[in-house]
Amino acid sequence: MLANALRLSLVLEVALYATLAITVGEKSPLAAVLLAVLIMLALRALLIAVTYAYAWVYRSPSARLSVGQALLMVLGEYAAFLVTFLVILPFERRWMGDDRLSPLVAPERRAKAEGSRPPILLIHGYGCSRGAWWWLRPRLEAAGWTVATISLEPIYGSIDNYVAPLARRIDEVLSETGADKLILVGHSMGGLVARAYLQSHGEVRVASLVTLGTPHQGSELARIGFGANARQMRPHSAWLQALGRPQPALAALAIYSPQDNFVMPPSLLELAGAENRTIDGLGHLAMLYSPRLALVLLTALEQRAGGGECAFAGADSEAAPDA
């Protein structure tokens, strides 16, 4: 299980750095632990810097930010990385709990939500678990949606091996909610898992597909990734070439940031045959914690569910970066 592995790796990492600080640097135990934490934070800052170095090399000339906007974007991505991999994912059960497969809405809105809205199944990305949706899931629920999640393991396995667990989870969600179809929302690799499911099972049980920062045509950063799934996400890989397009009737939408620091160049984020919508100034993980992204997503979901006018209508998918 990913959470157990992350907790163990964090403990071992701190222990290693602290031991070196005590034996080599002759630090006190307390100072050694503090130094170990600082080293952990610095190494993760370096990792984010490497991703943005890749993104800079493959940047689009038309996607430019001011210095201040770029700095806020990088800091936001760094914060999202720390929260995701140091706080949320290692303690997923504490933060997420079980899925609540009934609309969390006021009684006067419940009939409309149950009568017109399909449930949503959130599919996480590479190296993550369902905990990646910790911030976004309650915001979808607060807007009246029934939301389910799934954890795909092993984290470095083939994307094809995730299709069967996804199919089972879809069956479970539809059975528990009584719905005929659901909406698939995938972040990063999760969008490719959804497309692989649609290729093998069709869209009979899926009303719509929305992807967030998905490498539909691969990513240059995947060349240094681990596992079969990373190899499948290399630009224009044989696996990606064999992946079919969503059917036009599916109303697929690809939302992405032109400044994505994990998927580059930006053109690889586009999904042929689908609506493509950009949202500037967001990093790959920061999308999952962005009020602007939540606004765009909620608007798109309302439109695809036939909900008509909603409180989120009129959201600008190219709004300024989060402050």
pLDDT in tens, 30-62: 999 999 999 999 999 999 999 999 999 998 887
Residue type, 152: L
pLDDT in tens, 185-210: 999 999 999 999 999 999 999 999 99
Residue 115 pLDDT class (50, 70, 90 cuts): low
Domains and CATH numbers, the chain: 95-304 (3.40.50.1820)
Length of the chain: 323
Q: What is the DSSP string of 233-282?
A: TSTT-HHHHHSPPPPGGG--EEEE-TT-SSS-SGGGG--TTSEEEE-SS-
215 Cβ neighbours under 8 A, 6+ residues apart? 188, 189, 192, 222, 233, 262, 263, 268, 269
Q: Burial letters for 150-168: b for 16+ Cβ neighbours within 10 Å, e otherwise?
A: bbbeebeeebeebbeebee
User: In this model, does residue 307 exceed pLDDT 60?
Assistant: no
Residue 318 pLDDT class (50, 70, 90 cuts): very low
Residue type, 50: V
In terms of C-beta distances under 8 Å and separation of at least 24 residues, what long-range contacts does 230-235 make, across chains too? 230/126, 230/156, 232/158, 232/159, 232/192, 233/126, 233/189, 233/192, 235/268
Residue 306 pLDDT class (50, 70, 90 cuts): low
| Total Cβ atoms within 10 A of residue 241 | 9
In terms of C-beta distances under 8 Å and separation of at least 24 residues, what long-range contacts does 168-177 make, across chains too? 169/121, 170/121, 170/197, 170/205, 170/206, 171/205, 172/148, 173/101, 173/119, 173/121, 173/148, 174/119, 174/205, 176/101, 177/101, 177/102, 177/119, 177/146
Q: What are phi and psi of 185, to 5 degrees?
A: -125, 115
Q: How far apart are CA 156 and CA 126, in angstroms?
A: 8
Q: How far apart are CA 35 and CA 27, in angstroms?
A: 9
18 Cβ neighbours under 8 A, 6+ residues apart? 29, 32, 33, 35, 36
Q: What is the DSSP letter of 188?
A: T
- What pLDDT was estimated at residue 32? 94
- What pLDDT was estimated at residue 246? 76
* Number of alpha helices (DSSP H) and beta strands (DSSP E) in the chain: 11, 6
Q: Is the pTM of this model over 0.85?
A: yes
- What pLDDT was estimated at residue 258? 95
Least confident of 24-28, 38-42, 110-114, 212-216: 110-114
**Average pLDDT score over residue span 241-251:** 80
- What pLDDT was estimated at residue 192? 97
pLDDT in tens, 54-106: 999 998 887 788 999 999 999 999 999 999 999 999 999 999 999 998 643 44
